[in-house]
Amino acid sequence: SAMAAVRDVEIDPEGTFKYILVRLQRPGGEERRDIVRGTKAAEFHNHIFEKVNPEMEKLGYECKCLGGGKIDHNSKDKKIRVFGLSTGYGKADHSVTVEILKKVYTDYEITWSDDKK
């Protein structure tokens, strides 16, 4: 399906940056899935959503931001840390985010916490 063509994760390869957890759903349909998007280019969490939303609408999905936080991506040590929250969207369920990240970064150590920093 087209939904399967949407990548689970699109995050920067290195550094600490904001991320959001987004739920995709077919209007009126049962099919849904959650994706993770994060980038240093975004000064605020809504900047990420404003980029993702039109892309997904073109594919026929409704998007809902489930919350946000930060990701610390250390590609050298193969570690990802998920933490923090979004002022605008609230805190994403980082445990869900970690499960999605694990599908893509299979050989990484991935952790989460409610720490702000």
Q: Known catalytic residue: 45?
A: yes
> Residue type for 83, please?
F
Please give the annotated binding residues for substrate, written as ranges: 18
What whole-number distance in Å separates Cα of residue 36 and Cα of residue 101? Answer: 8
Residue 9 Cα distances to 27, 33, 72, angstroms: 22, 12, 14
Average pLDDT of the chain, as a whole number: 95
Catalytic residue among 45, 47, 73, 94: 45
8-state DSSP, 108: S
pLDDT at 3 over 70: no
Q: Give the model confidence (pLDDT) of 46-57 as tens digits.
A: 999 999 999 999
Q: C-alpha distances in angstroms, 29 versus 9, 24, 33, 46, 93? A: 23, 11, 12, 25, 23
**pLDDT tens column, 29-74:** 888 999 999 999 999 999 999 999 999 999 999 999 999 999 999 9
Burial classification of residue 108, based on how many CB atoms lie within 10 Å of its CB (0-12 exposed, 13-18 middle, 19 or more buried): middle
**Residue ranges of domains in the chain, CATH in brackets:** 9-113 (3.50.20.20)
